Structure 1
């Protein structure tokens, strides 16, 4: 007469044959079931611990969950953050106009690489610099080189930025204060549109106030930074096309 172990082996073989499962697959199913049972038991133990902690007036578990949610939000924010677009100076594409200037302290000083040069106005405030582009451009930010240590009462304290398609429809984009600035100062235009860029033909920078109540102003450099959307294969070309005809056929639409 077959013993109990033999009967169990016969029953298991018959079960495998009828279910169509191989012995390896059957073993894998059993292991998954055992793992699920262990997880259920572990979760039950954790629930018991949480109940005990809640009954004792402990808020550690809730704080942990809140921290986990905040961490998840931070990860999501990082994941959806768009990569930074490189910026380039497009000041050379503009026609520059100053409200006033002293002889020898004009536009060339604003565009120079040397911060020892500067534009100096020569009239009552406000003073302004106009940059007119032949086509509508995207502008991410303006950078100003200001030096309170050297310029003192000539250093701008409050500025305003205006934009428009022409002088007839200039509107204020922002105002910004500086407190004894030294170096390149960022004037971000990210709030101008949802995509983070101001789109305009005409840009006006106005100096509304100087430090110490000064009248005339000094600005030692202006850079107009725009997203660089040029393709790398053209930019890195040792002999780039220069004519409009060749550039028009340099890429496939």
Structure 2
């Protein structure tokens, strides 16, 4: 278990597990709304892209707290089906559209969006790569808002350092990440840490019942057993080392 990351498990299994959960990563409606408060000039003409949107929990929060048109993109077709169904149930289908696509090969026009949003997803293509690649799809003075795993301290215990370097090789401190954002051509607007409740109440706790159910559904499947063991280990590490790291919301404005 020591040297594997979640990305090395079967993509289909990961999606099967997470599409049944409300959230696919740490976060909360309150923190999404808080981040939205730093974005200027929102109107019914605003266009937002939500990249790596999962089943779209935060997409709906964005739609319910703005008048914007939102295009939500994710690699998993099952997540997008669920997102579009939710948009329909909430009467948001005229403003929210989910599409299947890859974050590192976006199917958009240059300067198409006023705001690019991404919660818990940019690490899968790299913070620096994502900021640089996505910039051309933003209008001048457009905003980017992403959550990204970050160190809170300059030094940390070897066990947690190794685990995160395996999972997110580029992981850096908040100051380091803000400097990357500046070098990529954004003016840093805000950076704030997500509270513990975003991890524990909204991410780890809801996984517990799903883990039991998933183990039963896939009884005897060693890959599934390893995947669930990995998730439980991740939760244990968080309770042990949460003062050293967490998700940070980074908000920047394109120069």
User: Normalised by the size of structure 2, how large is the TM-score?
Assistant: 0.22
**Greater share of helix residues, 1 or 2?**
2
**Greater share of strand residues, 1 or 2?**
1
User: Normalised by the size of structure 1, how large is the TM-score?
Assistant: 0.22
Larger radius of gyration: 1
